[in-house]
Amino acid sequence: MPGFELFDHAEREQLQDVMDTGILMRYGFNGLRKGHWKAKEMEAAIARTAGVRHALLLSSGTAALTTALAAMGVGAGDEVILPPFTFVASFESILATGAVPVMADIDDTLCLDPQAVRRAITPRTKVVMPVHMCGAMAQVDELLDICRQHGLFLLEDACQAFGASFQGKMLGSIGDAGCYSFDFNKIITCGEGGAVVTNDHTLLQRADQYHDHGHDHTNDDRGAEGHPFIGYNYRISELHAAIGCAQISKLARFVDIHRKHKQTLKESLADLPDIAFRRLPDPDGDSATFLSLFMPSEDLARRASNALKKAGIDGVFHWYDNNWHYIRKWEHLKARAFAHPLYKPLLDLLPDYATVAFPQSDDIIARTLSIAIKMGWSDDDVHRRATTIKHSLQNTLRTPASR
Ligand SMILES: Cc1ncc(COP(=O)(O)O)c(C=O)c1O
């Protein structure tokens, strides 16, 4: 999966442009930079790829989510609905704005269940934040309808899904805003980086200002610029953007490779009677970075995960036992272990995450295994893996549970 698997001369040449000028800052230094504007160049490429009017490149996906929420005016006491299966960054970004993360169950798409979202809406809800997990889509059409009915923002956390689409529209481009991550482990990488995309000029302008200390970006002289509100520093550097420029030009090829490898694995497992695949609301839009499947029980999922590792299959995730991606292991959130006293006023507003129950999500995540797809595999590698995975799963399914 990670874009670094296929680094070549293109990344080196892009980096060399920046090294030759020495200008690492995305703004200013107009004469010295000799026409190189890597962040701007990548923003234009992201907007073109996503089919949106505006893209803002930032230092991370977490920064992008925080900035998008701030641009939407989310703050103290507001509620943002998100799934309990995501990466911790999703709830961290909500807490960073002083708002309350309210979790709603997922379904067999591994993403927010629209019915659970309806039940979670309160007069304080301001945003619904679906997370397009593992390279594929939430039921984003239904979620958009819900948001329109209730006057809420739809913010797509598409950090894991750059390159995926739903009914021909890029994930991230469907809601009021979307966020991507280009961290070290994503389908395309800047090393660290993220983006906010939107068609809404006001949201873009607020995000643009917020992510750079409130600079209004109306003057070539930074010292003379205005500051309409207090912001922060979530800027990307030109070095990171340069790598991203090379990587984004390869996105279509990267997605094709993932799809081909995933198809081979999927075909080999399709006749295992007790295994079901994750439901994809639009299979044609899958970026195919993971193959996710449901085992018949938690016990079988855990045993299959161990058997696959023993058989030398890396990149297997049993999310239920993973510390970072599912609420079951988010002890720090349950303990409200905030590092900063700024969060104190939030304590009375937060749900008791230690006792709130997600039986539907538990049932799904306890049985889910995801296998990461690597671009560096040769066709032989994929076929060998497919055979090994199939045998391991068959053996696991055949072996009765130990008592
Ligand atoms: C669903 C999700 N949201 C947000 C992020 C945060 O992105 P970053 O690592 O660029 O801060 C990630 C990163 O893995 C993610 O998976």
Question: What is d(CA 269, CA 263) in angstroms, rounded to the nearest whole number?
Answer: 10
Cβ distance 261 to 377 under 8 Å?
yes
Question: Does residue 403 form part of some domain?
Answer: no
Stated pTM of the model: 0.98
Pocket probe mutation, ligand 1, options 93, 95, 181, max atoms within 8 Å of Cβ: 181
pLDDT tens column, 344-371: 889 999 999 999 999 999 999 999 999 9
How many angstroms does the Cα of residue 194 sit away from the middle of ligand 1?
A: 9
197 and 344 both lie in a single domain: no
Q: E strands, 215-355, where? A: 276-277, 290-294, 316-317
Could you tell me what percentage of the chain is helix, strand and coil, using 3-state DSSP and rounding each to the nearest 5?
45, 15, 40
**pLDDT in the model for residue 166:** 98
Taking residues 55-67, what's their average pLDDT? 98
With both helix axes pointing from N to C terminus, report the angle between 359-367 and 298-310 in degrees, rounded to the nearest 10: 30
How many angstroms does the Cα of residue 306 sit away from the middle of ligand 1?
A: 26
Which candidate in 38, 186, 250, 262 is catalytic? 186
Ligand 1 binding residues, C-beta < 6 A: 60-62, 86-87, 89-90, 131, 157, 159-160, 181, 183, 194
Q: Which helix (H) or strand (E) holds 81?
A: strand 79-82
Sign of CA dihedral 51, 57, 59, 64: negative
Q: Which residue's CA is the nearest one to ligand 1's atom 8?
A: 61
Task: Give the rounded percent of residues in the chain with a pLDDT score beyond 90.
Answer: 95
- Count of CB atoms within 10 A of residue 82's CB? 25
**pLDDT in the model for residue 403:** 45
**Half-sphere exposure in the Cβ direction for 61 (13 Å, CA):** 29
Pocket probe mutation, ligand 1, options 66, 160, 185, 196, max atoms within 8 Å of Cβ: 160
41 and 186 both lie in a single domain: yes
In which residue are the tokens 């090294």 written?
Answer: 19
- Cα R_g (the chain), whole angstroms: 22
List the helix and strand counts (H, then E) for the chain: 13, 13
32 and 146 both lie in a single domain: yes
Pocket probe mutation, ligand 1, options 87, 322, 370, max atoms within 8 Å of Cβ: 87
- Count of CB atoms within 10 A of residue 40's CB? 16
pLDDT tens column, 148-207: 999 999 999 999 999 999 999 999 999 999 999 999 999 999 999 999 999 999 999 999
For residue 186, indicate whether it is catalytic: yes
108 and 73 both lie in a single domain: yes
CATH code: domain of residue 82? 3.40.640.10
Could you give the number of structural domains in the chain? 2
Q: Which helix (H) or strand (E) holds 363?
A: helix 359-367
Domain housing 388: 252-398
Q: Is the confidence at residue 262, as pLDDT, over 90?
A: yes
**What are the φ/ψ torsions at residue 293 (nearest 5 degrees)?**
-140, 160
pLDDT tens column, 365-384: 999 999 999 999 999 999 99
